[in-house]
Amino acid sequence: MFSVLRNKVFISTRPKGKSGELDAMLTSNGAIHMELPMIELRESIDEDITSDILINMQTYTHLVFTSANGFLFFMNQMRNFKDSNNILHSIKIASIGYKTTETILSKGYNIDFDANAKTGTEFAKKFKKHIAGKEARVLWPTSKLSPNIIPDSLDGTAHITRLNIYTNNNPTNIDYKLVNRVKSDAYDMIICASPSAFFNLIDVVKNKNLRIACIGRTTANAVKNHGITPLCVAKEPNALGIFNAITKYYNSFK
């Protein structure tokens, strides 16, 4: 069966090794998928503050995760603390949904509240309603670059502690051969899953005439604000969502 994606070249800017699911979907439909990581995720913590928070984990009623990376970096820190597994199972976990939920469940933890939200703003609105009147004490492990939307939204509803546990950095090694491919317009679409990846791409390529596909509305808004109209935006912020958006885009030309 002929696929509209056959022989088309897609370049992903996600962190190295994070595009396996999408790669399988694209290549099984005859597309060419290349990785040009535009961000690197690194642990970024204040050891004294983090230790104090984690030692007192039992004082929190809820753990909030708005990304799979936030959960994984947090779990890496919790391994250093005695009885951490029992403590985590005693605290209610709230997830933004999608890949974050999948990751949490895959590690054997139950989720008390799954917002199934596409943005931090949508999550905050739903979670605020969920914990209203519960005197919740919330811990939010997140990226240093995350906007402060959730604490601001929950102000007056719950006591919330933000824990910056990782950061999005510029890549240390860039495939300039692939960068030159982008500059020479030898590709069909570039896939961006975060504003940071998009901004780093623009900084490296020095070109605004790019064909961008976005995983999520937050990234799409950043791209639009930079003067570029995304060719397509995933309705669901995951691999299947962007695959479906890309396929729908090319089917529109049939």
Please write the tens of the pLDDT for every residue from 68-111.
999 999 999 888 777 888 888 899 999 999 999 999 999 999 99
Q: Indicate whether 33 and 75 sit together in one domain.
A: no
Residue 130 — very low, low, confident or very high, per pLDDT cuts 50/70/90?
Answer: very high
Residue 179 CA neighbour count, 13 Å, CB half: 14
Within-domain flag for 19 = yes
Average pLDDT over residues 5-23: 94
| Confidence band of 254 (pLDDT split at 50, 70, 90) | confident
Domain membership of residue 57 (yes or no) is: yes
Same domain, residue pair 127 and 33:
no
- Confirm whether 28 is domain-assigned: yes
Q: Based on the fold, state whether residues 46 and 161 are members of the same structural domain.
A: yes
How far is residue 207's CA from residue 250's CA, in Å, rounded to a whole number?
A: 24
User: Residue 177 sits in which domain range?
Assistant: 6-39+170-187
Report pLDDT for 81. Answer: 77
Across the range 182-187, mean pLDDT stands at: 96
**pLDDT of 200 over the 60 cut:** yes
pLDDT at 1 over 60: no
Q: What is the CATH number of the domain that holds 85?
A: 3.40.50.10090
Does a structural domain hold residue 99? Answer: yes
Per-residue burial over 192-229, b = 16 or more CB atoms within 10 Å of its CB, e = otherwise: bbbbbbbbbbbebbeeeebbbbbbbbbbbebbeeeebe
Region 225-242: what's the mean pLDDT?
Answer: 94
217 within domain boundaries: no
The percent of residues in the chain predicted with pLDDT above 90, rounded, is 76
26 lies in the same domain as 105: no
User: Do 145 and 57 share a structural domain?
Assistant: yes
Supply the pTM of this predicted model: 0.87
Q: Are residues 66 and 149 in the same domain?
A: yes
Across the range 159-180, mean pLDDT stands at 93
What integer is the mean pLDDT of 183-191?
A: 97
The verdict on residue 100 lying in a domain is yes
**Number of other CB atoms surrounding residue 15 within 10 Å:** 20
170 pLDDT higher than 80: yes
Per-residue pLDDT band for 155 (boundaries 50, 70, 90) equals confident
On whether both 148 and 176 belong to a single domain, the answer is no
Whether residue 35 is predicted with pLDDT greater than 70 in this model: the reply is yes
Mark whether 82 and 116 lie in a shared domain.
yes
Q: Mean pLDDT, the chain, as a whole number?
A: 93
Q: Of the candidates 167, 197, 224, which is a domain's last residue?
A: 167
Residue 17 or residue 142, greater confidence? 142
Task: Give me the count of residues in the chain.
Answer: 254
> Using 50, 70 and 90 to split pLDDT, how confident is the model at 2?
low
Question: Same structural domain for residues 62 and 177?
Answer: no
Q: What is the pLDDT of residue 77?
A: 87
Provide the percentage of residues in the chain whose pLDDT is more than 70: 99
How many domains is the chain built from?
Answer: 2
Decide if 127 is inside a domain: yes
Last residue of a domain, one of 106, 135, 167: 167
Give the CA dihedral 36, 33, 216, 184, nearest 10 degrees: 60
Pairing of strands 62-65, 92-95: parallel
Quick one: 30 and 54 in the same domain? no
Select from 121, 138, 167 the last residue of a domain: 167
More confident residue, 81 or 33: 33
* 162 and 57 in a common domain: yes
Query: What span, in angstroms and rounded, lies between the C-alpha atoms of 137 and 96?
Result: 18
Same-domain pairing of 138 and 153: yes
Lowest mean pLDDT among 13-22, 82-91, 116-125, 144-153: 82-91
Place of tokens 């995760």: 65
Asked if residue 213 is part of any domain, the answer here is no
Confidence check: pLDDT of 52 > 70: yes
Average pLDDT over residues 30-41: 96
